[in-house]
């Protein structure tokens, strides 16, 4: 049986660091692993990170919003905590919902300049499915 050729992330997506995905009035919730990675990346204590960067409501921890963007978004360089970003941010824009509904693909790809628009929807889905099988949890 021939070995299947590995798919490279760059075949379907190359982040343009445009910040479109970092906009909004809310951000993703941070699980314990997200919080730990962010604290380590920033080199601060949990309390310092919580005070400076997080919005905590009950048990929900999110990043603060500044001028309509995530607090970590910098217009010149993109995500300033990229290595310590939440897994949901790392997953975006290659959300599995794109495989189930072409309208999700159309909406997301229209707003993201990093998605390879030279591929058909079927080609994109085939490559994304292979990447998910190869990598398990896909982080862009």
pLDDT tens digits for range 115-140 = 999 999 999 999 999 988 888 777 77
Q: What residues contact 94, with CB distance under 8 A and at least 6 apart?
A: 12, 13, 128, 131, 138, 140
pTM: 0.73
Task: Give the phi and the psi of residue 19 in degrees, each rounded to 5.
Answer: 85, 0
DSSP H or E stretch at residue 129: helix 121-135
Provide the 8-state DSSP code for 115: B
Whole-number Å distance between alpha carbons of 60 and 52: 16
Averaged pLDDT in 10-residue chunks for the chain of 140 residues: 74 88 85 95 97 95 92 89 89 87 92 94 95 80
């Amino acid at each position: 049986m021939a070995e299947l050729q590995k798919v490279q992330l760059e075949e379907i997506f190359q982040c343009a660091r445009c910040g479109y995905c970092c906009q909004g009035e809310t951000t993703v919730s941070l699980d314990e692993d997200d919080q730990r990675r962010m604290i380590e990346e920033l080199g601060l204590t949990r309390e310092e990170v919580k005070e400076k960067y997080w919005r905590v409501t009950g048990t929900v921890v999110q990043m603060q919003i500044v001028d309509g963007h995530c607090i970590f978004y910098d217009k010149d360089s993109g995500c300033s905590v990229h290595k310590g970003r939440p897994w949901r941010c790392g997953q975006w824009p290659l959300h599995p919902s794109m495989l189930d509904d072409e309208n999700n693909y159309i909406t997301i790809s229209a707003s993201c300049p990093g998605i390879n628009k030279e591929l058909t929807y079927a080609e994109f889905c085939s490559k994304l499915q292979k990447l998910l099988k190869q990598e398990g949890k896909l982080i862009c």
